[in-house]
Amino acid sequence: MKQSSNRPYRCLFGPVRSRRLGVSLGVDLVPSKTCTLDCIYCECGKTTRKTLLRKAHIPTREIVDELNDFLSGDPELDHVTFSGAGEPTLHSGIGELIRFLKKHHPRYPVALLTNGTLLFDPAVRKDIADADQVIASLDAATPDGFHAVNRPHPDLHLAEIIEGLTAFRHTFVHRLLIEIFIVPELNDTDAEITALKNVLARIRPDGVHLNTLDRPGTESWVVPACEAALERISGILGGDLPRFSIGTPRGKGVRTINEKQLARTLFGRPCTAEDIAAVFGIKTPEARRLMDGLVNSGQAEKRQMPRGVFYFARKNAGSGKTG
């Protein structure tokens, strides 16, 4: 895989490999960490700019230039994905960017990871109508669950968000998935899951994913749901739901890497050496050596977590996640 230049990117990160989207170029449209929510499990850290204001947080022209620069190298990608360390629909140029990709780089399917909170706004629904796949999160269907897990902007109302998702489904002809992040004791009770089931019956997404903690979250007390709990929830929701963890699956090698690419991938989300090895198609010891190099140069730090040693980008060393 090649790109047309080795310039550093402000908005692009990866490509990363994931189970849902394959090899995906990430596009981060807002500065870290700008979001409508402050989820307790967010792998990008605490929201520092909680806002509902849509604007060109980064000039749209600059993002177009970066996309053109990277995609003119004709890379092998399964998706171009709007995601990152914040909520992509807060960028007022997202509609223009999707149209640009569809017109000038039509071979690449466009995916959007969103928290769905702005879909009550018809302008947002129109902006993202041409995406090939929208993965929207909805972690709770009761106000108590919503506030406990997602810590929303005070002007957000769960009923409006659910109405927005339902209205979007009515007009969106491509693939809509709903992602539910389970936090034990906060949104995993039978009452919470039954409320979610009723809402999902109204939204009628093409699929539902259950997630739970795999990477370090914003709040250190958040723990993963156990397999039995996920099975129980899956049963209440309706049986054969496709379910994914957040972990990066093992994949084939896709490219050579340099320090900047590695650092940008870490800005997307914390990774283990095994994750990095899978993303870049290198051996784990080599990934560990490269990551330790970033630690030694002050660009990253590492921390022991239940799933292994995770490497984090240091906040002052660059920018970029999944909503």
Closer to ligand SF4 at the Cβ: 75 or 323? 323
Binding mask 267-306 for ligand SF4 (x = CB under 6 A): ----------------------------------------
Decide if residue 38 touches ligand SF4 (CB under 6 A).
yes
From 37-45, 60-68, 267-275, 287-295, span contacting ligand SF4 (CB under 6 A): 37-45
The smaller minimum CB distance to ligand SF4, of residues 54 and 288, is found at 54
Name which of 32 and 60 has its Cβ closer to ligand SF4. Answer: 32
CB neighbours of residue 92 within 10 Å = 17
Least Å from the CB of residue 40 to ligand SF4: 9
**Minimum CB–partner distance for residue 204 and ligand SF4 (Å):** 22
Cβ proximity to ligand SF4, 98 vs 149, nearer residue: 149
Q: Is the peptide bond before 197 cis (omega within 30 degrees of 0)?
A: no
| CB closer to ligand SF4 out of 79 and 288 | 79
Site map 68..107 versus ligand SF4, x via CB under 6 A: ------------------xx--------------------
- Strand order from edge to edge, sheet including 133-137: 12-18, 22-28, 79-83, 110-114, 133-137, 175-181, 207-211
With CB under 6 A as the contact rule, the residue among 11, 27, 37, 140 that binds ligand SF4 is 37
Interface with ligand SF4, residue 262, by CB under 6 A: no
Query: In the bound complex, what is the minimum distance in angstroms from residue 91's beta carbon to ligand SF4?
Result: 13
Q: Which is nearer to ligand SF4, 39 or 156 (CB)?
A: 39
Q: Does the footprint of ligand SF4 cover residue 39 (CB under 6 A)?
A: yes
Considering only residues 47-66, where is the footprint of ligand SF4 by CB under 6 A?
47
Choose the binding region for ligand SF4 from 16-24, 39-47, 104-112, 237-245 (rule: CB under 6 A).
Answer: 39-47
Q: Which of 42, 180, 186, 225 forms a contact with ligand SF4 (CB under 6 A)?
A: 42
Under the binding rule (CB under 6 A), the answer on residue 111 touching ligand SF4 is: no
The answer to whether the CB of 250 falls within 8 A of the CB of 278 is yes
Site for ligand SF4, rule CB under 6 A: 35, 37-39, 42, 44, 47, 86-87, 115, 323
